[in-house]
Amino acid sequence: AQKVTQAQTEISVVEKEDVTLDCVYETRDTTYYLFWYKQPPSGELVFLIRRNSFDEQNEISGRYSWNFQKSTSSFNFTITASQVVDSAVYFCALRDPSGNTPLVFGKGTRLSVIA
Amino acid sequence: DVKVTQSSRYLVKRTGEKVFLECVQDMDHENMFWYRQDPGLGLRLIYFSYDVKMKEKGDIPEGYSVSREKKERFSLILESASTNQTSMYLCASSLGGTGDGVEAFFGQGTRLTVV
């Protein structure tokens, strides 16, 4: 069975601090997909990144970076120089490689960035 | 851009009513999903569909049914609404297959209150 654990329920940081959101996953599949989504107060989940299990390169997009480590089954998300607009709930998700299966989500981490 | 549209942003229904939540996507996606989001529980899958007229139960299908008569539309039905179905309902769609584009895209959510 697949499982995603986001151990941090809530995090609060002061603006301009760096913050890392943890994601640990479990799967028996040798290939899989990992995702991060952002849910701002408006409620709609916004897709941030997809990572294939065979691609362990870390990725950077502006102030966002993702660290994928297969050895520890982790896919952590770092926001550098956080801003108030980063305040949201962030979800990590996992999907198996077949074409017609749903994403399995963690319970989310609520990030509050204080000015 | 992918567009997933849910018919209502907010709904208030009475206990025992039959409730229809509608979802339409405009990107010809094979897969469509209904999730329920509750505080502390994250996103839980109710039902998904990988093709027209096909449906699969998710983790919490009890009290719900679905209909997919056309590829672009996926309806969630609460046969007899109860107060414990008060929640945020999120619809999503994704391509079938593997590779690029397997991420799910979400609608804006429907906040349902059953009184």
Name the DSSP letter for residue B93.
E
Res A101 pLDDT > 80: yes
Residue in this structure with the two tokens 């151990």, named with its chain if needed: A7
pLDDT digits (tens, 9 = 90+) for B29-77: 999 999 999 988 999 999 999 999 899 999 999 999 999 999 999 999 9
Mean pLDDT for the stretch of residues A43-59:
89
Res B8 pLDDT > 70: yes
Residue B1: list chain A partners with CB under 8 A. none
Looking at residue B78, what is its pLDDT? 97
- Interchain CB contact of B107 with A (< 8 Å): yes
Q: Which distant-in-sequence residues (6+ apart) come within 8 Å of B73 by Cβ?
A: B22, B23, B24
Return the HEC string of B4-49: EEECCCEEEECCCCCEEECEEECCCCCEEEEEEEECCCEEEEEEEE
Segment holding B88, helix H or strand E: strand B87-94
**Distance between A39 CA and the closest CA of chain B, angstroms:** 10
Q: Which distant-in-sequence residues (6+ apart) come within 8 Å of B84 by Cβ?
A: none
Interface test with B, best of A103, A104, A105, A109 (most B CBs within 10 A): A103
- CA–CA distance, B41 with B23 (Å, rounded to integer): 23
- CA–CA distance, A74 with B7 (Å, rounded to integer): 37
**Distance between A35 CA and the closest CA of chain B, angstroms:** 8
Residue B103: list chain A partners with CB under 8 A. 33, 35, 47, 50
Mean pLDDT for the stretch of residues A82-107:
91
Percent of chain B with pLDDT over 90: 83
